Amino acid sequence: MDDARHGFDRIDCYAIGAILIAGAALDLACRFVPADLPYAAPFVFNIPVFALCWLFAFWYGRGLARTAAGARPALWRSLCYFAGIVAIYAVVQTRFEYAAQHMFFLNRLQQMTLGVFGPFLIAFAWPRDVLARGVPSELIGIAASKPVRAPLAVLRHPLVAAVLAIAVTDIWVIPSVDFVSMLDPTLYAVMNLSMIATGLLFWLVVLDPRPRPACPYSFFARMAAGFLTMFPQIAVAGTIALSRTSFYDFYELCGRLYPGISPIHDQLLGGIIQWIPPGMLNTAVLFVLLHAIRKHEDRQTRETVIPPGARVIEAKWTGR
C-alpha cells in the first residue's frame, strides 16, 4: 500500500463524476416526481451536503486503503467517522427533513445532529491522517495556503470556535428567526450548513488529541472551551424546555406531524434534546482529553533516555 499523498487522478475523477451524476438525477427527481421517491431520498435536495458527505466518505475510504496495516486507526475510529457522516446525511438528505419541518423536537434533533452529534463523532475519530492520504494533494495545498490558513488559524482558537458554536446554535432558535428560516428554503439550507460548519470547527478544535506544539493550544484551553460551552447552552435550552409559553408558532400554522403532542410538550422535548445530550458530550470532552494527556505522558516516558546507573521510580496512572 502507498502511504504517501497522491495527486488528483483518474479515480478521483470517476468518484466526482459519479457523485455529480447521482446528484443531478436526485435533484431532477426531487423537482419533478417527489411523491414517487422513497423515504431515503431527499425531501429538499441540498447539493453541498450531498456532495461533501459522499466525497469525504470516499476520500476517507481511499485514505484507509492507502494506509499501511500497522498504521491504520482502530476500527472504532473508522466506525465513528462513518457514523458521523451517515448521521449528518440522514437528517438532511432523507424525508426526515420533512418531519423536522413539522415538529419542533424533531427540528432540534436534526439541528443537534448537524451541529453536535455528527461533528462530535467525526472529530472523535480524528480522521486527519487518513484523510491526508485520501484527499488529493492539490486540495490539501489549497487548504494549507496562506489565504486559507490565516483566517482558519483565528477560527481555530478555542475561544473563537466556542463563541461561534454557541452563537450559531442560539441564533436559529430565536423565535422570529426560526419562523423566517422555516418559510424560506434557502435560509433553511444556510441554517443547516452553518450548523455543520461551526459544529465541525468546534469539535475538531476541542477534541484534537495532539499535544503542543503539534496543536497550538494546550489541553487545558481545549478542556475549558469544550466544557464551559455547556453552560450558556443550558441557559438557552432550559429556558425553551421549562417555559409555559409557546415560542414557536410556525409548527402550529404548518400543521404538526403528531397532533397528539401539544405545542408546549413539543417545545419541552425540543429543549431537552438541545439541553441534555449536548451537555453530556461537553462533559465527555474532559475524559477524552485526559486520556490523550495520559497517552502523551506514557509516550514521553517510553522515549526518555535513562542515564546508566540512574534509579527510576515509576507511578502508574490509577486504574492501569
pLDDT at 311: 64
Are the C-beta atoms of 117 and 277 separated by less than 8 Å?
yes
Name the helix (H) or strand (E) containing 80. Answer: helix 75-92
Name the helix (H) or strand (E) containing 195. Answer: helix 185-206
pLDDT at 297: 85
Domain that holds residue 266: 10-298
pLDDT at 221: 95
Query: What number is the average pLDDT over the span 90-96?
Result: 96
pLDDT digits (tens, 9 = 90+) for 148-195: 999 999 999 999 999 999 999 999 999 999 999 999 999 999 999 999
Question: Is 228 a member of any domain?
Answer: yes
* C-alpha radius of gyration, the chain, whole number: 22
First-residue to last-residue Cα distance in the chain: 35
Question: Is 184 a member of any domain?
Answer: yes
What's at 43, amino acid-wise? Answer: F
Question: Is 312 a member of any domain?
Answer: no
Residue 61: pLDDT over 80: yes
The cell for 283 is 462533559
Residue 318: pLDDT over 70: no
pLDDT at 289: 95
Binned at pLDDT 50, 70 and 90, residue 1 comes out as very low
Distances 168 to 57, 195, 262 between C-alpha atoms, Å: 26, 7, 27
pLDDT digits (tens, 9 = 90+) for 260-315: 999 999 999 999 999 999 999 999 999 999 999 998 888 877 776 667 766 656 55
Number of domains, the chain: 1
Are the C-beta atoms of 236 and 178 separated by less than 8 Å?
no
pLDDT at 299: 81
Angle at 58 between CA 56 and CA 60, to 5 degrees: 65
Name the helix (H) or strand (E) containing 106. Answer: helix 104-112
Cβ neighbors of 44 (< 8 A, separation 6 or more) are 30, 97, 185, 188, 189
pLDDT digits (tens, 9 = 90+) for 23-39: 999 999 999 999 899 99
pLDDT at 293: 94
Compute the half-sphere exposure of residue 83: CA atoms within 13 Å on the CB side of its CA. Answer: 13
Question: Is 275 a member of any domain?
Answer: yes
The cell for 101 is 419541518
Question: Is 309 a member of any domain?
Answer: no
pLDDT at 317: 56
Query: What number is the average pLDDT over the span 93-99?
Result: 95
pLDDT at 249: 84
Question: Is 183 a member of any domain?
Answer: yes
151: preceding bond cis by omega (within 30 degrees): no
Binned at pLDDT 50, 70 and 90, residue 114 comes out as very high
Question: Is 317 a member of any domain?
Answer: no
Question: Is 320 a member of any domain?
Answer: no
pLDDT at 210: 93
Residue 215: pLDDT over 60: yes
Say how far apart CA 41 and CA 33 lie, in whole Å: 11
Binned at pLDDT 50, 70 and 90, residue 7 comes out as confident
- Can you give the pTM of this predicted structure? 0.92
